[in-house]
Amino acid sequence: MSITPVPPLRVVAVRHVHFEDLGTFEEVLRSRGAEIQYLDAGLDDLSAITPDGPDLLVILGGPIGAYEEDRYPWLGNLKAVLAKRIARDLPTLGICLGAQLIAASAGAKVYPGGKRELGWGTISITQEGMNSPLRHLREAACHVLHWHGDTFDLPEGARLLASSHVYPHQAFSIGSNVLGVQFHPEVKEHGFDRWLIGHAVEIGMTPEQNVADLRRGTAGYAATLAIQASKMLNDWLDGLKSLPTPH
């Protein structure tokens, strides 16, 4: 009796700055036999992404606004792909800017929040969030990294999963297979200095933060976050529909 081989999980990750990659999530995905392709905004043709092409589409963070299509026209192509994936309930994950782009693609408003939320802190998980993989990131379990100044309205029909004391909309889901998280669960201690270099100007504009404190926070919190974020992602992947079975 022949056994039909299971196709690998095809993951496309859209990266806006090189150091904001999949981080801990890449290790989880590769452990499940995933084939990962990075597409770099501003370099690769994002219009070539077909809505039903990747098994999983991940939109990563970056220091631009989801509403800045006049400056970055390719954002329109990305939103068009996301809108179609949301409509078809195809597995899609957005982190920081990625979450804001999912919100915008679902018809919600994304806008400057008036306060920069930057540094390590906790999130409050809603009751619905406690019944989701986000429960692994509850305040008692770990700290997460916040790094944004924009916020968004909750898309119609979305479920709010997490909040913070600065911004009430920190994580949400749409349908069964679309998840957006405003904070960074994927960040790793190894290589974090790239964030400090790449975002030096933004750190300098945030009086309550500095490089030494961010590095110290990362040393104290990143290892535990990696454990909890891996649990969160594995649970989320296990609950998705239509993904290839892990090897």
User: pTM of the entire structure?
Assistant: 0.95
**Alpha carbon 215 to chain centroid, angstroms:** 21
Helix (H) / strand (E) element for 38: namely strand 35-40
Q: What is the pLDDT of residue 242?
A: 66
**Alpha carbon 93 to chain centroid, angstroms:** 6
Domain count, the chain: 1
Q: What is the CATH number of the domain that holds 211?
A: 3.40.50.880
Helix (H) / strand (E) element for 151: namely strand 144-152
Flag whether 37 is in a domain.
Answer: yes
The domain of 219 spans 10-239
Average pLDDT along the chain: 94
Flag whether 2 is in a domain.
Answer: no
Flag whether 98 is in a domain.
Answer: yes
Dihedral in degrees, nearest 10, Cα atoms 77, 17, 13, 97: -60
Residue from 58, 47, 140 nearest 93 by CA: 58
Flag whether 116 is in a domain.
Answer: yes
The amino acid occupying position 123 is I
Q: What is the pLDDT of residue 3?
A: 54
Supply angle C-alpha 99, 147, 17, rounded to 5.
75
Paired residues of 35 in beta bridges: 10
**Residuewise pLDDT in 10s, the chain (247 residues):** 455 556 789 999 999 999 999 999 999 999 999 999 999 999 999 988 998 999 999 999 999 999 999 999 999 999 999 999 999 999 999 999 999 999 999 999 999 998 999 999 999 999 999 999 999 999 999 999 999 999 999 999 999 999 999 999 999 999 999 999 999 999 999 999 999 999 999 999 988 899 999 999 999 999 999 999 999 999 999 999 766 554 4
Q: What is the pLDDT of residue 247?
A: 43
